Amino acid sequence: MKPKIVSISKRNAHFNVLFHPKNSWIWNDIHRNNWEEYTFDIFDRFLSSDHTYLDIGAWIGPTVLYAAQIAKHVYAVEPDPVAFGELTTNFSLNSAISSRITLINSALSTKTGMTHLYSRHSFGDSVSSLIPTISDQSCIVECITIADLIRKYSIKDLNFVKIDIEGGEYLLIPHLREFLETEKPTLYLSLHPLFLKQNISRKCRDKTEIRNYFNKITKNMIDSLHMYKYKYDNYGNIIEDEVLLGREQNGEFIFTNERW
């Protein structure tokens, strides 16, 4: 099937996208209200026309194109070369909001330079990661620290950050600690404990050792988010640290100093 351009309507947002066979499911689901309605609830609650939004793990643009119609400006960070190509095409199809979007073909990381990006199945499918899990297939991508990112793109008035990087969050969050303490943006964080365990299992075989290492990494990440007064699940329910420590399945959480 040849890719075509379609118009998507989501609540008060309207945008055009490339309807590519590989990723057509996401646009169909969004249009039919079958994809992460809670994400749009969170965006509607916390995004502001007076503030900018940093989307780390922007993929092909569903959150970017929606958020650009609410936030003052969106900085979209995506290292996957296939996903970024489609994101760039979708960006070009929306001249009405493109001035409020900056595309960044990099991975947010603990250092600036070059690194491996690993594919679980194929690049562009939304689950590529800086940590290897079930595949050794990789490509070299540019990576950048939060300090260099903010300096390079002159990012200001930032009050909301989304991080969805398929397991890489466990290593990235402790590195962001100083930034989060200073800026205290509302953080919408996707956790991928299954991916982290798969990564650890590549190095460790003993189940007890895997569990202990997993718990240590998870606790260090959660401790790095101590600056937030409120922790919510993706439906707005208050949660405690124990919920995050014992998390076995992938899921989304909000860390903020604002009441939902």
* pLDDT score for 1: 57
pLDDT of 203-213, one tens digit each? 888 999 999 99
* pLDDT score for 205: 83
Which amino acid type is present at position 162? K
Strands in the chain per DSSP E? 4-10, 13-19, 52-56, 73-77, 101-104, 107-108, 113-118, 138-144, 158-163, 186-191, 230-233, 251-256
Distance, in Å, from the CA atom of 63 to the CA atom of 126, rounded to the nearest integer, reads 13
The dihedral region occupied by 139, where left means phi > 0, alpha psi between -120 and 50, and beta the remainder, is: beta
> Which residues have C-beta within 8 Å of that of residue 18, sequence separation ≥ 6?
3, 4, 5, 86, 89, 90, 93
Q: Which domains does the chain have, with CATH numbers?
A: 36-256 (3.40.50.150)
* Confidence (pTM): 0.96
Q: Is the pLDDT of residue 144 over 90?
A: yes
Per-residue pLDDT, averaged over 88-113, amounts to 98
The top-scoring range by mean pLDDT among 19-33, 143-157, 195-209 is: 143-157
> Which residues have C-beta within 8 Å of that of residue 12, sequence separation ≥ 6?
69
pLDDT of 201-237, one tens digit each? 998 889 999 999 999 999 999 999 999 999 999 999 9
